[in-house]
Amino acid sequence: MTSMLRSALRSRLTTAMRERDRAAVSALRNAVAAIENAEAVPTEGRSVTTSAEVAGAAVGLGVTEAERRRLDHGTERSVVAAEVSSLVEAETAYAAAGDGERARSAAAGAAFLRSVLAEVDGAEG
C-alpha cells in the first residue's frame, strides 16, 4: 500500500525529471530513499547459514528476505521533515563556504519538499 505522501513524492519526481529540475529531482529521490530506508528491518540477531565457498553469502532460498516495516503517515512525514532540515543545514554550510550555487540548490530542494508536505497535509486535512 502506498501512502499519499509517497505517491505525491513519486509523482512530483516524475514531473521534475521531465522538466530536468536537478534540485527537485535530487531532493525527491533522497526523500523517497529515506522513507524506504526507514522501512528496512534491522539484520542484527538473524541467524543465517553462510556459504563456505563464497564469503558472507547466505545459503537457502529466501533466507535473506524479510517483511519490511510499514510506516504511518506521521513517521513518513517526520522522515521527510528530517530531509528538509538536512537541506537547510547544507544550505547554511554551503553559504558559509562561499558556494552560492550549491546553497541555492539545497534551498530549492528544501522549499520543494516543504511544498510537497504542505500539499499532502492540505489534502488530508
**What is the rounded CA–CA span in Å between residue 5 and residue 76?**
8
**Structural contact between residues 76 and 5, judged by C-beta atoms closer than 8 angstroms:** yes
**What is the rounded CA–CA span in Å between residue 18 and residue 116?**
17
User: In 3-state terms, what secondary structure has residue 47?
Assistant: coil
Q: What is the pLDDT of residues 67-125, one digit of tens each?
A: 778 889 999 999 999 999 999 999 999 999 999 999 999 999 999 999 999 999 888 76
**Structural contact between residues 4 and 73, judged by C-beta atoms closer than 8 angstroms:** yes
> How many CA atoms lie less than 13 Å away from 107 in the CB half-sphere?
11
Does the model's pTM come out above 0.95? no
Q: Of 84, 79, 125, whose CA–CA distance to 108 is shortest?
A: 84
Which has the minimum average pLDDT: 6-15, 53-62, 102-111?
53-62
**Structural contact between residues 14 and 116, judged by C-beta atoms closer than 8 angstroms:** no
Number of separate helices (H) and strands (E) present in the chain: 4, 0
| Residue 41, pLDDT score | 78
